[in-house]
Amino acid sequence: MSGPASNASYKKYLQLFLEQDYAKRDSPLATLSYAYPNPVDNLTTKPNLSYEELRCYMRELASNNQLNTVPNNQLNTSPN
Protein backbone atom coordinates (compact mmCIF):
# COMPACT_ATOMS: atom_id res chain seq x y z
CA MET A 1 0.00 0.00 0.00
CA SER A 2 1.28 3.47 -0.79
CA GLY A 3 0.12 7.04 -0.63
CA PRO A 4 -1.75 8.98 2.05
CA ALA A 5 -3.65 5.96 3.39
CA SER A 6 -0.46 4.14 4.36
CA ASN A 7 0.93 7.27 6.04
CA ALA A 8 -2.24 7.69 8.08
CA SER A 9 -2.11 4.06 9.15
CA TYR A 10 1.53 4.35 10.18
CA LYS A 11 0.84 7.48 12.24
CA LYS A 12 -2.09 5.81 13.98
CA TYR A 13 0.04 2.84 15.04
CA LEU A 14 2.90 5.09 16.07
CA GLN A 15 0.54 7.15 18.22
CA LEU A 16 -0.82 4.00 19.88
CA PHE A 17 2.74 2.79 20.48
CA LEU A 18 3.87 6.08 22.01
CA GLU A 19 0.87 6.22 24.32
CA GLN A 20 2.65 3.53 26.32
CA ASP A 21 5.07 5.16 28.77
CA TYR A 22 7.49 2.24 28.68
CA ALA A 23 7.57 2.28 24.88
CA LYS A 24 8.55 5.95 25.01
CA ARG A 25 11.19 5.09 27.61
CA ASP A 26 12.64 2.03 25.92
CA SER A 27 12.91 3.53 22.42
CA PRO A 28 15.46 6.23 23.33
CA LEU A 29 17.32 3.81 25.57
CA ALA A 30 17.75 1.41 22.67
CA THR A 31 18.92 4.22 20.42
CA LEU A 32 21.31 5.72 22.96
CA SER A 33 22.81 2.44 24.15
CA TYR A 34 25.68 2.51 21.64
CA ALA A 35 26.71 6.12 22.28
CA TYR A 36 26.16 6.14 26.05
CA PRO A 37 26.57 2.55 27.26
CA ASN A 38 27.16 3.25 30.96
CA PRO A 39 24.21 5.58 31.67
CA VAL A 40 21.87 3.44 29.58
CA ASP A 41 23.00 0.27 31.35
CA ASN A 42 22.35 1.92 34.71
CA LEU A 43 18.91 3.08 33.63
CA THR A 44 17.81 -0.25 32.16
CA THR A 45 18.20 -1.85 35.59
CA LYS A 46 15.35 0.35 36.88
CA PRO A 47 12.18 -1.41 35.68
CA ASN A 48 9.79 1.20 37.11
CA LEU A 49 11.59 4.17 35.53
CA SER A 50 9.11 6.38 33.68
CA TYR A 51 9.76 8.22 30.44
CA GLU A 52 9.66 11.55 32.29
CA GLU A 53 12.23 10.32 34.82
CA LEU A 54 14.46 9.11 31.99
CA ARG A 55 14.18 12.44 30.20
CA CYS A 56 15.05 14.40 33.34
CA TYR A 57 17.96 12.11 34.18
CA MET A 58 19.49 12.35 30.71
CA ARG A 59 19.07 16.13 30.63
CA GLU A 60 20.77 16.39 34.02
CA LEU A 61 23.69 14.27 32.84
CA ALA A 62 24.04 16.35 29.68
CA SER A 63 23.90 19.66 31.53
CA ASN A 64 26.59 18.49 33.97
CA ASN A 65 28.81 17.17 31.14
CA GLN A 66 28.65 13.67 32.65
CA LEU A 67 27.86 11.85 29.42
CA ASN A 68 30.99 10.17 28.13
CA THR A 69 30.39 9.15 24.57
CA VAL A 70 31.84 6.25 22.67
CA PRO A 71 34.32 7.44 20.02
CA ASN A 72 32.72 7.86 16.58
CA ASN A 73 34.86 5.14 15.02
CA GLN A 74 33.30 2.62 17.44
CA LEU A 75 29.81 3.58 16.26
CA ASN A 76 30.47 2.59 12.64
CA THR A 77 28.27 -0.36 11.73
CA SER A 78 29.43 -0.84 8.15
CA PRO A 79 31.92 -3.63 7.38
CA ASN A 80 35.53 -2.52 6.89
DSSP the chain: --SHHHHHHHHHHHHHHHTSHHHHHHHHHHHHTTT-HHHHHHHHT-TT--HHHHHHHHHHHHHTT--PPPPHHHH--S--
pLDDT above 70: residue 3: no
In a domain, 56, yes or no: yes
In a domain, 80, yes or no: no
In a domain, 59, yes or no: yes
* pLDDT, tens digit, 9 for 90 and up, residues 33-80: 887 888 888 888 888 999 999 888 888 887 777 666 555 555 455 555
In a domain, 65, yes or no: yes
Tell me if the pTM is above 0.85: no
Q: How many domains does the chain have?
A: 1
In a domain, 2, yes or no: no
Structural domain including 55 reads 10-69
